[in-house]
Each structure stands twice: as structure tokens, then as C-alpha cells.
Structure 1
Amino acid sequence: MRIGPFLDLQDYEIGATNVTFQQHKIGREERARVLGRHNGFRGCTIWFTGLSGAGKTTVAFAVEKILTQLGIPAYALDGDNVRHGLCKNLGFSKEERRENIRRVAEVAKLFADMGIVVLASFISPYKCDRDDARSIHNQDNLAFFEVYVNTPLRICELRDPKNLYKKARSGELKGFTGIDSVYEAPEKPDLILESGVESEAESVRKVLDFLLQKNVLPVKAYQQISGPPIRELYVDEESKDKLLERMNSLPRVHLTKIDLEWLQVLAEGWASPLPGFMRERQYLQCLHHGLLLDLKKNPEDTEEDSLWSLNEPLNQSIPIVLPINDDTKIKLMDGHSISPEIALVYNNDVVAVVMDGEIFEHRKEERIARQFGIIDPRHPAIKRILESGDWLLGGDVQVLKRIQYNDGLDCYRMSPLELRNIFAKANCDAVFAFQLRNPIHNGHALLMQNTREQLLTKYKNPMLLLHPLGGWTKEDDVPLDVRMRQYDAVLAEGILDPEWTVLAIFPSPMLYAGPTEVQWHARARLAAGVSTYIVGRDPAGIQHPETGNYLYDPTHGSKVLSMAPGLLDLNIVPFRIAAYDKTKGKMAFFDPSRSDDFKFISGTKMRSYARNGIEPPEGFMAPKAWKILSSYYQEMAMKQTENNQ
């Protein structure tokens, strides 16, 4: 019920007398310590203004949801909602609109003072009212940001979700903003959203970027949705020509194929913020702590590059190093000093330069023991390390050009920044990744489909990064080119939907270091914007060289990831066992209560089927994908027979 006419609402300004403001006994910083997951006071008001139907509430509610998920206390005040309670006795005359905005601004100020990020979405057509709302906050030293949702009237009319424009045009609704009541557009808003041409995701991203710039959104929280900052190591064009002029006079280090793969990992930013192959300081941090603690060059350094300084330890479970032998070390030394610039060469082509390098001892047994938990040269990666040089070359790296292999697969080798752009253009709001080095059967696909279904309860468009490892693998693993053709077939047959799947190659070599290595696999994917990571059974595992059993407990990978330092914000999806359900004729999650209904097809059995031309049960694998795999194993069997004759 209306409380009477509001012809003199402006008199409210002088309505209260004999009142004294009471000071709180705690301050904003004290409240902030118990509010949200991040330290520091963040209370402020984001004031969305624009025509009805411009998209103010849509963006505000979306930002509210994201901030809440990130642990930032936020509350959206909507124009219609407050008129159901706080302002239910107000109409739409100019005076009543002014009182409406005043009340909302006072409430927003209280919320902001408490430490909440207030997202107020109100048409607020008059500049003087918005200025008053800002003044209410400024008087208490609270941040107020005006966001103009600049959507043209014609688009708002096309949207018209409540048929208000239709009623206003017909004369049924009087005093409607934009039709027969003026809207005074902001002259100098803090942020402009072009909702008529931007997608909702793009507008939301602009608001989040703005909040990051204004220190409302902490860097750590922002990285949960965008991934950490990417540090690519390519030389800039201005410096490249001068560097090339000096190239012939520089000492050289010849890289192996695996060295080149690690260089690609560094160059594209998968190991950000590492500036190159690890120096001894970072190597020791990694080896003994499983973390990067800083990027200082020497133990006695007191400062580091402020642009890439680490605010907190970063997970780094495996060392990224460049081994060299005695002869190479001698060539790099000029007396007691190392050459300030060193060319890195692959197949007689200079691919990068190490700047301000250092050489330190490669204590192989110590590295192997800590990294693998076993010292046995029958382990293929351990054998490779034992055969490598006795010294390690560390230092900042400048890469001359993009690393490519001209094997027909370079189109799949997308960098973190390229992948982020793909997901952004698709309006993806959550990325989940599946790391693999084996062919995909329908049980794998089931897990990926199930993960997306879970994410759809929180997000609008979660997308899968199907990310096979593309670096060195042991000899009996399926080669990369065969695997990529098999993955393409899985997508072509619709087992995984190409609309929400991005197939790309992860350039890292394989180590077979179990739970230690799986942390690296997960940490690197953060660079591509991944927020959810599916962990396989026995991830990065291998058979024990002596017994043939699991070298690592197959469940430890997911357990370690769930509590790994520096990865606590990554959502871990443990592998669920899938088997062939004979009653349904397809792969399904194993149900122990009816175990007799399931048939387990191990990797050994699958390879036996493929070599001998035996078709697996229908529903185990996409037919075209199976044909590719079967052809490969039959070809390998024929070659082995020929070699034995």
C-alpha cells in the first residue's frame, strides 16, 4: 500500500535531527579477515546504469556468481527486487526515482562498508541521482564505480523481456525511460559495456578485468578463471636482428630432440614464469620442495624481477634442465667465467640463445632418487638421465622463432595463449582437461562426458581440452601420429562432441614419474586456463622393471593432486573405473554390486585384439578409431615377424 503522495520527497534530506553517528569498535580490515577467502578489504559498489533491457542485471548477476565462486563476498541489488521491499512504496516520478536511488545507495554503502562487493543494477536515468550515489560512498571513503551498459534503444526494444517497451509505445505505460522519459547517459563512466555487440561473457570479462585493475579482485582469484600470466620467451623483433648478427661468434650447445621439446615448453609459456632452463637455485627448490619459491639468480640476491616475482610458492614438481657434457662445458667457459651468450642449436639450426647463464653439477643419482623414488637404469627415463651430461646449463632463454616439427601435426600444437583465445571466442566459462598418452576408448569418453555434465550445473559452456602428451614417450607406446588420427576419429564419430572439445598437443616429454610427474601435468594446464583436471588411474605410471607390477600405487596420483601445494584451486576429478557392461552393450561405470555383468578389457587384451584382427565388443571403441588402432598393431606385428626371420 502506498504511504501517500511523494511530492516532497526532497524534504527527507532534513527529516532527522538530534542524531549522532556511532563509531564501530572494529574496522574494515578486521571484518575483512573473517569475510571471504582472500585477505584485505574489498568493499565497493559497482553501479550498472543503462536503459531497461540493456543487460545490466544479466551482467551483474553473472559477475556476482563468479565472485562468489572465487571467494569474494558479493551481492547484486536489482531495481525490480528492491521495489518488492525497501522501495515498494515508490513510483516512477522524478522525485520518487531520486528517493529510490538514494535509498539503494545508502544500503549499498552499508554493504560495501561491511566488505562486500555490491553490484547495483538500476536504470538511474538522471545524472544528478548517480552523482549523489557516488557522493554517499565518497563521504565514507568507499569506492564507487559507474558502469554504463551502453545498449542502443533499438536493441533494448528488440529484447523487451517484460514487454515494457511495447506497453510504452502503445501509451499503456507512461513515463518510461527512453520512450517518453529522458535517460541522461554518463559523460565519464568508469567503464563502458557495449552489450549490443559484446556477448555476455565478453561483458563479464571486461568487468572482471576492471576489478582486477582496481585491486578489488586479487590476482590469485583472477588466475582461477583466466589462468596465470603467460611468460613466452620469444625474442622481440627489434632485438632479433642484432642477436642474429652476433650468432656466428657465439659458443654452441647442440640440443637433443628431448631438449628441444623442453625448450618448446618454456618458449610457449607452459612453465611460466620460468625465464629459461633452471638455474641451480630453482633446481634445488624444485628437487627438494617441489615448488618454485622465487626467480632469483643467486642465493645471495635480495631482489628479483618485480614483473615476474612470485607472490606465493608455485607448484613445480619436476626440473626443467639442460644437461651438457665435459667437452661442451669447456667450450662455454672463458677462463673462469661462462660466455654471456650461448647459442642453442638443433639440426644445425640456431633456435635460441641462453643469456647470463650458469653451469652447475648434474648430480644424477640424487635427482633420480628424488624424482622417481627408484634408481634403476631399466626405467627408460632414468636410463636417459644417466646417459646425459654431468653438468647442467641454466639461464634466461630467448627463442628465435616458433618451434615446429613439420610432421603434419604442427596445427595441433597450440600455445597457452592460443588456447585461451579459442576458449574465449567460444564463450567458454570453464575449461576441463584430460591428459593422455594412450588411445581413447568409450570408457574414457564416458568420464569426460560425465565431467561436463557435472560442470553444467555451475557453468553455461564448459569445454574440454583433450590434450595428449606430444613429447618423447617410450618405444612401446602408440606413436603420436597414430594417436592423433585415432582421437580425430573419436571426434568424427561423435563419441566426443567437437562443439565443446578442443584437441591439441601438449609438447612436454614423458618421464613416467607417477604422482610427482602428474603434478607437472596439472600445473602446466593452468596456463591454458584449465580449472578442472581429470586424473587417470596410475597417471604417468609404468611397470616396475623388476616385478612387472605397478611402480606407483595407481590411486596415489589423484590423492597427491588433491592436496598438492600450489594447486589447491584446481578442481580435481578422480578417475572412475569403467568397464564393458554386457547387459547394456556399452562402456559404463563399474558397479560392484553386479560385477558379473561387467567385462574388463585391459590394455594388454586390447592390444592382443588389435594385433590379431579381433573385433572388440560393440560399444567399446568408436569403429573408425578401432580400425586405426588395429591397423597400427597389425603393421607392427608384421614388421616384428619380418625382423625375426
Structure 2
Amino acid sequence: MSCLSFYLENMRMPESERALKRAEAQLMLKGKLIKIDIEWGWANPVGGFMREEEYLQSLHFNCLRLSDDSFVNMSLPIVLALTTKIRRQSGASPNVGLVSPNGDLVGILRSVQVYKHNKEERIARTWGTTAPGLPYVEEVITPAGSWLIGGDLEVLEPIQHNDGLDRHRLSPRELRKEFDRRPADAVFAFQLRNPVHNGHALLMNDTRKRLLEMGYKNPADDVPLDIRIEQHSKFFLLPISSINVLEDGLLDPETTVVAIFPSPMHYAGPTEVQWHAKVRINAGANFYIVGRDPAGMSHPTEKRVLYDLDHRKKVLSMAPGLEKLNILPFWVAAYDIVEKKMAFFDPSRAKDFVFISGTKMRTYARNGENPPDGFMCPGGWNVLVKYYESLQVEEAVQPPAVFSA
């Protein structure tokens, strides 16, 4: 699900009406979207790319004031950048046609407002630093235009990725409907940033057990699958490996819903984790498991972590607009070399546990080594290994680089 297909869910524009609007859009000034522009989703109540007032509220207050004077959490700005050339052309145009990265006319932005894109302010407020080397900044913000354009979005065509995973791109409304069908009296979500292993399954199964002990009859878990956007890497295998966790019986398909969460990854620490939590509320979740280091990263120029590991959980417990979400503690899981399985870490027998980081897990897969038995289900591990094998094949057939003075 993408930003554009999310808005289509709310519009349900008849095909005959879409044909008229498509013809109208052909005559408009065109603005071309980049890939990340169509990856936003689950952003209700935002009705399009933000105008300046919404942008400033999001950037400085991490929330939006609604027409009834209530507040909704919105910690990341959803904006569309313009080059100076397009900005000049858009001066007398109230509406702009939106073109997808592959050239298709996919939407209209109505009653547009153009305003200055102060990149340094945006970066400092979102990441708390302007140090060089922040992945999202270098990939998206630095090369972006110096102007932002906001307006009300009308969608002409839903975005289809045609990658075999569209069936898992469920909208918030579709997810709520699915939770009602189960029926689930509690929905808990866990933010993942690595391929799913048995420790994640242990944590989710234990959370279900704890909710049952609290009196809930049928808690269900949402397994969100970020297709993470990082500089030079994109782990597209995550959805498949997570599905293998279901197929191998580590998670119960009757109480687990697999859905892809559409959002570009910023690695903006406490600021971004509010966005991750807020959109889970839109999708029906009322319990949220805060991981050990969600949305965190190493400092790009210094040998330290960029954000305090405890601040994400503390911020979520205080953030305006997230009062409906119950924050669940994260229990650290590690590999128990005695029991030969993933288990919750027991400090009294610390020597019996081995921590296998995401980096070490990828190194195993890249080198064709197997992790300890019981670390990950065989189906999920095979997907990871095949992914790295495919990368090695691609690298082997790449022609040599030719340099000239």
C-alpha cells in the first residue's frame, strides 16, 4: 500500500469520474514524484501533501491541530519538493498533475500552496543533528528542490508494485476489517527492522500469552514489514521470510496478520518512532511492543549511537495523541546455548546466552554459514541465504568499470 492507494481507499472515485479527472489532469502543469513520494501511507487524517501550516505543526510540535481543536500525533512531515523551475511555472496554477516515477499520471494536487523548503531546519528538527551522512537526508532531502508544494490529493490510479506482494499491502481500513472478522479484542504490533527470527516469534507469542492473562479473549498480532530504504541497500526479502515464520508454525496464522507497512525509513529515533506508533493506531492496534532500538542508528561521524536507547519508549509514553496506545515492555531475547533455542535473557546464567545481531545474521547468510539450530525457522533462513546468493551472482556478471582521464 502506498500513499496514493491509501487516499484512494477514502475516495472510492467512480471509474467514469476518474476518466474525466484524468483528461483534466492531462492539461495541468505536471509534477514528477520520486519513489519515496509514493511510499507514504496510513497517514490519516492528512489529506494530501502538507501545506505550510501543517508542515510547521508537524516539524515543531510533532502533532496537528484538527478542526475540532483536538490533536493527532504527526511527528514526520509528509511533503512534496519542487525545483525552482517548476515553482516558477506553478505560480499561476491552482492545481498540479502528479506523475509517478515510471511516467504514469496518477493524481491531482488541488488548491496548491508553494512555500520555502528550509532543508537545514527540517533536518535539525527531525534528526537532532545536521551531521553529514544521514541516509535519508543524503538520498532524499539534499537532492530535493528548494520549495515544497502542498494541497488536497485526488488519486487517479492506485499504485501497484506487481512484485508478488501486493496482496499484503493492506490499508488501515482493510486491516481493521480483518481484525473484526477474527474477531480480535486486542491487537498488538511489533516494529521490526531485521528479518524475523525465532526471538521475534517468542516475543510475540509471549505478548499474546500475557494479554490472555490480562483477560483478553482473542488478541491478534500485526507483523509489520518495513521494506527498509537505506543507502546502498534494500532488504526486499523481509516479507517472504516473515511469511515463512508463519508457514513453519512459529506464529499462529489464525491470530497473526501479515501486512506491509508503507513508509520510508528515516532512522530518526524518538521522532520517527512516534510515527510508527501513530499509524498502528490507524490500522487498529491498541498495544505496541517497543523494540530495543527502533528507528535508531549509529552517529554518522562519531563512534557512538545517535539516540539514547531508552528515549523511544519514554517519548511514546508521553507523546500527545498516542494516549490510546498501550506500550508493552520489550524483553530481550538471545540464543540459549544450553537449550539450543531462542529464549528470554536470564542475567543469572548470562554465560549460557549468545546475542546474534542483525549484522552477524547477515554475515552468516552472506558467507553461506548456518546459524545455530533454533535461531530461525529453516524456511526463513533459506530465503535469506538465497537473497545473498542472488546478490553474488549479480556482482559476478557486472562488467568491469572503465575509467578515463
Q: TM-score, normalised by structure 2?
A: 0.91
Match of residue 106, structure 2, among 351, 361, 367: 351
Q: 2:207 pairs with 443, 446, 451, which one?
A: 451
The structural deviation recorded for 1:231 is: 9.4
Q: Measure how far apart 1:253 and its partner are.
A: 0.3
The answer to whether the Cα contact below 8 Å between 1:250 and 1:342 also exists between their aligned partners in 2 is: yes
Residue 274 (structure 2) pairs with residue 519 (structure 1) = yes
Answer whether contact 1:515 1:540 (CA < 8 A) is retained: yes
Deviation string 1:412-459 (CA, Å, 9 cap, x unpaired) is 101011111111111111111122232011111111111111111221
Equivalence for 1:67 = none
- Larger Rg over CA atoms: 1
Deviation at 1:285, TM superposition (A): 0.6
Q: Deviations over 1:503-529 (max 9, x none)?
A: 011111111111110100110111111
Is 1:341 paired with 2:95?
Answer: yes
Deviation at 1:476, TM superposition (A): 3.0
Tell me, what secondary structure is at the counterpart of 2:299?
coil
Q: How far 1:626 sits from its partner (Å)?
A: 1.0
Q: Which letter maps to 1:291?
A: C
- The corresponding residue for 1:463 is 220
The residue that corresponds to 1:291 in the other structure is: 63
Task: Identify if the C-alpha distance between structure 1 residues 283 and 352 changes in structure 2 by more than 3 Å, giving closer, same or farther.
Answer: same
Code of the aligned partner of 2:387: Y
Q: CA deviation at 1:644?
A: 10
Q: Which amino acid aligns with 2:223?
A: L
Q: CA deviation at 1:379?
A: 1.2
Corresponding position of 1:115: none
Contact 1:432 1:534 in 2 (8 A): yes
Equivalent of residue 253 in structure 1, options 6, 31, 39: 31
For the 8 Å contact 1:435–1:467, the answer to whether it is kept is yes
Q: Which of 365-374 and 563-572 deviates more?
A: 563-572
Shift in Å, 1:577: 1.1
Distance 1:549 1:277 in 2: 35
Q: What do residues 54-81 of structure 1 show as CA deviations (whole Å, max 9, x unaligned)?
A: xxxxxxxxxxxxxxxxxxxxxxxxxxxx
- Per-residue deviation at 1:559? 1.7
- Deviation digits for residues 464-498 of structure 1, max 9, x if unmatched? 111112363443342x2x11111111110001111
- Partner Cα distance (2:133, 2:399) in 1: 23
Q: Which residue of 1 aligns with 2:297?
A: 542
From 154, 165, 177, the equivalent of 1:398 is 154
Unmatched 5+ stretches in structure 1: 1-229, 295-308
State the alpha-carbon separation in 2 of the partners of residues 637 and 514 from structure 1.
32
CA distance in 1, matches of 2:353, 2:229: 35
Please state if 1:372 is matched with 2:150: no
Total equivalences in the alignment = 390
Is the contact made by 1:432 and 1:531 (CA closer than 8 Å) also made in structure 2?
A: yes
Code of the aligned partner of 2:222: L
State the distance in 1 between where 2:232 and 2:137 align. 14
Give 1:348 shift.
2.1
Separation of aligned partners in 2, 1:364 and 1:499: 46
Over 3 Å counting, the alpha-carbon distance change for 1:548 and 1:232 in structure 2 is: farther
The answer to whether the 8 A contact 2:193-2:228 is kept is no
Q: Match for 1:343: what amino acid? A: G
Contact 2:59 2:126 in 1 (8 A): yes
Contact 2:269–2:307 (CA under 8 A) maintained in structure 1 = yes
1:127-179 CA-to-partner distances (Å, cap 9, x unmatched) read xxxxxxxxxxxxxxxxxxxxxxxxxxxxxxxxxxxxxxxxxxxxxxxxxxxxx
Work out the CA distance in 2 between the residues paired with 1:644 and 1:586.
43
Moved more, 517-526 or 572-581: 572-581
Deviation at 1:370, TM superposition (A): 0.5
Choose the corresponding residue for 2:53, options 281, 296, 299: 281
Asked if 1:242 is matched to 2:20, the reply is yes
Q: Secondary structure at the match of 1:456?
A: helix
1:426 is matched with 182
SS for the counterpart of 1:565 is coil
1:475 paired residue number: 232
For 2:262 and 2:65, the matched residues in 1 are separated by 25
For 2:62 and 2:381, how far apart are their aligned partners in 1?
39
SS of equivalent residue, structure 1 residue 344: strand
TM-score (norm 1): 0.58
Instruction: Work out the CA distance in 1 between the residues paired with 2:306 and 2:94.
Output: 43
Q: Is the 8 A contact 1:231 1:274 kept in 2?
A: no
Identity of matched residues, %: 49
2:403 aligns to what? none
Structure 2 residue 354 is matched with structure 1 residue 582? no
Residues 157-236 of structure 1: matches in 2 within 5 Å?
232-234=9-11, 236=13
2:85 aligned residue: 327
- How big is each residue's C-alpha offset from its partner over 1:320-340, in whole Å with a ceiling of 9 and x where there is no partner? 000110111122122xxxx12
Q: 1:425 to 1:235 in 2, by over 3 A?
A: closer
- 2 CA distance for matches of 1:601 and 1:643? 32
Q: Give the Cα separation in 1 of the matches to 2:315 and 2:223.
A: 22
User: 1:593 maps to what in 2?
Assistant: 348
* CA drift at 1:640: 4.6
Preserved contact between residue 83 and residue 144 of structure 2 (Cα < 8 Å): yes
Question: More deviation in 310-319 or 530-539?
Answer: 310-319
| Structure 1 Cα separation of the partners of residues 89 and 179 of structure 2 | 46
| Deviation readout 1:79-103 (Å, 9 max, x if unpaired) | xxxxxxxxxxxxxxxxxxxxxxxxx
> What's the secondary structure of 1:508's corresponding residue?
coil
SS at match of 2:233: coil
Tell me the equivalent position of 2:4: none
Residue in structure 2 matched with residue 411 of structure 1 by the alignment: 167
In the aligned structure 2, how far is the partner of 1:585 from the partner of 1:394? Answer: 54
Matched AA of 1:340: P
* CA shift in 2, pair 1:641/1:604, >3 Å: farther
Deviates further, 464-473 or 416-425: 464-473
**In structure 1, what is the Cα distance between the partners aligned to 2:116 and 2:204?**
43
Deviation at 1:576, TM superposition (A): 1.6
2:300 is the counterpart of 1:557 = no
C-alpha distance in structure 1 between counterparts of 2:205 and 2:105, whole Å: 44
Kindly report the root-mean-square deviation, in angstroms, between the aligned alpha carbons of the 2 structures.
1.9
Q: Distance in 2 between matches of 1:556 and 1:643?
A: 44
Pairing of 1:98-177 with structure 2 (within 5 A): none
By relative contact order (CA 8 Å, sep 6+), the higher-ranking structure is 2
Corresponding position of 1:31 = none
- In the alignment, is the contact (CA less than 8 A) between 2:36 and 2:264 conserved in 1? yes
Question: d(CA) in 2 for partners of 1:615 and 1:554?
Answer: 30
